[in-house]
Structure formats: C-alpha cells, structure tokens
Amino acid sequence: MAAGDHQRYRIDDRVSMGPVESWSGLDRTLDRPVTIRVLDPSTEIGKRVQLQARSLTRLEHPALLHVLDTIDLDDRFGVVTELLPEETLEDRLSRQSYFSSQEAITIGIQLGEALAILHNAGFALGGLQAKDVGQRKDGTVVIVEGPPTSDAIGIPARPSDDIGALGELLHCLLVGFRPQIDHQGRYELHSAIPAPLGQLIRRSVDRDSQWSDATALVLSLRSLQQDFDRLPYGVETTQTDYLRAERTWLAPVAIIAALAGLAIITGLFVTRTETAPSLAGGVSEVVHLEPEQTILMDNVSDPLADVAPVTSRPSSPSSQLQIISVVDFDPAGDDRKEHAEKLELINNGDSSNGWYTERYTTSDFGKLKAGVGLIIRLGPPQHIDQLRISSPTIDWSFEIFASQDSTGAIQKWGEAITSRTETSGTITVPLDGAPAATLLLWITDLGKRLPAGGHRVTISELKVSGRPLFG
C-alpha cells in the first residue's frame, strides 16, 4: 500500500503488521491525524471485523476506541479510528514498575464501564492486558488492542473472562505483575496490595465467587474510590466494608432509562459470547457513560452478603518478599551492561554459580569507574527489614541504596542506607524497615585477587525480607 490510496484519507506509515495492519494517516477533510487498520475482507477475521467496525461507530465511551469511518481500499478494507495513544499501560509499567492505588482504581473504573457496555450488548473481549490499553495525555485510557478473537478458533469469549482479566490487570498495575497461581490453582495476591483492593481483586479473579457482572465491579471500585483517600495506605476499617458496594450504591439511585438496542454488534476485535441472550435480560438502564457517571443496573444480587465485616489488624510480621526482577546497573560502562545474561543464575538454587561482574585488573575497577551494581525491584513501596546476600567472593565491599525509582546515575539514588567492607560468604544486612520499592546493591570494591588473575564479584543469592507499609 502506498501513501495517498484514498481520496479522503492520506495513508502514511505502517505502525504494525499481522492479520490486521495498522497505519498512521490523516483525515484530509477534517485535518486530523487518524489510525487506519487495514485487512483482507475475504478472511474470517476480516469479515468479522468489517461487520463489527460499522456497528462500533454507534458506541460511545472514552475507554472504547472511537471508530470514525470504514473505507474500501481496492481489495482491502480499512477501519479509521481515532489516533492511538503513543503509550500503553505496559509502557508505563516498564518505566515506573507500578501505579498508585488511586490511579489503578481510576483506570479500573474506566475499563469496567467499557466492559459493561460491551457485555450489555452481548459481547466480550475475551481478555485484557496492559499492552492492550493505551493511555491518552489527559490520563484517560482506551482499549486499543483486542487479542485475535476467540470465535475465530471456535471458543466464544465470556464476560467472566473479562472480569477476571480486569482483576489480573489491576493486580499488575499495583505491583508490576499478574497474580501467581499456587499448586492448588488458587490465585496468590501480593501482600503489598491494600486489603480492600485485594478483596476486590480476589472477587474478580476467583471464578467460584466472582462478581455478578462488570457493573458490580465498577460500583465497588467507585465506592472504594470515594473513601480511599481518607484512609492510610491499605488500612481496613470496621466502619466500611468496601466490597458491599453493590448494595450501598444501588439503594439510593433511581434507574435512569431503559436500555435499547442490545443487538448492536460491538467492538473492533471483540467477540460474540455464548451468553448474549442472558446478559440482555433484566437490564433496565442507560449504558451511555461519561467519565463521572455511574452504571446503574437492577436485578443485581449482592455477591458479598455472606462476607463478614473486616476489622483492623495488627502490624504484619517481616516475611520474605517477592523479587520482581534484578537488573544489572553499570552507569559508567561503555554499553551500560554488566553481564546481563547471567542474571538468571541468581537464586537458581546452585550456590556454586551466579551473576558476576566483568573481570578487572584491580579491585577498584582498574580505576575506570566507581562501581557497578544490581537493581532489585520489589513492586510497590514496602518496609524493607533486611537483605541477605550470598557470594563466594572474598573481602568485597558494597553499599545499599533504597528508592522508589530505579533510573538515572548513581547520584540520583541519594545517600546509601548502609554499607559493608571486606565481607565474604553469606551475610544478612539489616535495613531497619526502610520504605522502598527498589534496592540498589552497589559494589564498591571487588575483593581479593582471583586465582586465575584479576578481580570480580559473584552474587549467587539475594533474599529480601520486609513488611507492607500499611502493616
């Protein structure tokens, strides 16, 4: 395809490839940048997307990608949408490791409202990840990518899949990764997540006790949003059971209007569900939402009627924290790398090997640099009680820095919170509950000369213990 293939739309650069190609372009009539998705209408995906896209123009919500037009391009079909945001939630996570609870809640509300609209029309995405959600410069989010829809392989998507996916996404936003699954198939939620949010997420991901629908989840998020700023980070209260929001939000509000047009085919890259008829029944509300509006539904049961009120709990004991990632840190190096390929050897159960630095002629890095280090990412801020380090190196020295960020030169880490000199073997370093999301193990001396010549430090094990900030 070449630029200028359509009378109204100028088609410029290809942004992505696949069964559906994305191109940047310009609406000449309105002089506005657009994204044009191009596909072959003779394929199964092409036929489905062509049908869905024309109906999507009738749906309005900030978190649903706004389809502006559909166009014919010789033997191809084009879907013209608003310009996609330059950044996705995945991009932000890679840069900052996690979102604040307040921001995660706001994002969850926006996405939950969009999912409710899709589900009320009888369709579902089938999944939702950080890479599938763009964030505009004004902070609002929009679903920009739907996975190749499951109806193409004969597995219809379900609303429950979307509710579970949104719960996993909230967990990912809060701590940087999706919840783990234990040997019994249960989701393990990170201990640093505030308790009310953790309960809400669990009700999303656990199929046996899942929210009745996306609307119930949104209502609970809105209730939590109202009171969250008034509470210390993650503190539970006897006065408010946030997860009873389906009852507290529905009671005082009158139903606005009857829902019409439930047969709308929705969503670029969304799929019809097996449960469409049942979803439409019993709904008597308007689903056109502005950012500050709530979703109202009748006939919504209280899924938490049997949940006992939560009470305050004592401080959490120190326990081993999950290390999200370990990254080599060599700000003065030519390529800023220090054996990144060996990081996987840390904590692999074999104390005879591990990550190691480059080999230097002297213990002070051949006077080439002040040091090298390892960045230990832990997710959201927590009280860090101690760091356990195992190394076969003799008489090496280090400093430890604590921060909520992990970028920039060593000077940007502030003052070291502790240091050790001429250490060997396994050492446990007290950190006195320092609040941090990230630690830097900064090696300042490479220790004794190796039998083979030169100096380098090897790290075979890193263990971090601490407590949630709200404990």
Domains in the chain, start-ordered, CATH in brackets?
9-82 (3.30.200.20), 87-280 (1.10.510.10), 319-468 (2.60.120.260)
* pLDDT band at 364; cut points 50, 70, 90: very high
Least Cα distance to 196 among 246, 161, 244 occurs for 244
Mean pLDDT across 87-110: 91
pTM of the model: 0.55
Find out whether 204 and 153 touch, Cβ atoms under 8 Å.
Answer: no
Q: At residue 166, does pLDDT exceed 90? A: yes
Tokens 């019409």, residue? 260
* pLDDT band at 56; cut points 50, 70, 90: low
- The β-bridge relationship of strands 325-329 and 271-272 is unpaired
- Choose between 272 and 324: higher pLDDT: 324
> Could you give the CA distance from residue 232 to residue 318 in angstroms, rounded to a whole number?
19
Segment among 78-82, 382-386, 404-408, 430-434 with least mean pLDDT: 404-408
Per-residue pLDDT of 66-76, as tens digits, reads 878 888 887 78
* pLDDT band at 289; cut points 50, 70, 90: very low
Q: At residue 19, does pLDDT exceed 90? A: no
Tokens 């999507």, residue? 56
Q: Mean pLDDT in the chain?
A: 76
Q: Look up residue 267 and give its amino acid.
A: G
Helix (H) or strand (E) segment spanning residue 224: helix 214-228
Q: Look up residue 275 and give its amino acid.
A: T
Q: What b/e sequence results for 399-424 when a residue is b if at least 16 CB atoms lie within 10 Å of its CB, and e otherwise?
A: bbbbbeebeeebeebeeebeeeeebe
Q: At residue 148, does pLDDT exceed 60? A: no
* pLDDT band at 408; cut points 50, 70, 90: low
> Could you give the CA distance from residue 461 to residue 464 in angstroms, rounded to a whole number?
10
Helix (H) or strand (E) segment spanning residue 341: none
> Could you give the CA distance from residue 412 to residue 406 in angstroms, rounded to a whole number?
9
Segment among 31-35, 308-312, 380-384 with least mean pLDDT: 308-312
Least Cα distance to 467 among 438, 441, 436 occurs for 436
Find out whether 171 and 101 touch, Cβ atoms under 8 Å.
Answer: no
CA atoms within 13 A on the CB side of 260: 4
Helix (H) or strand (E) segment spanning residue 64: none
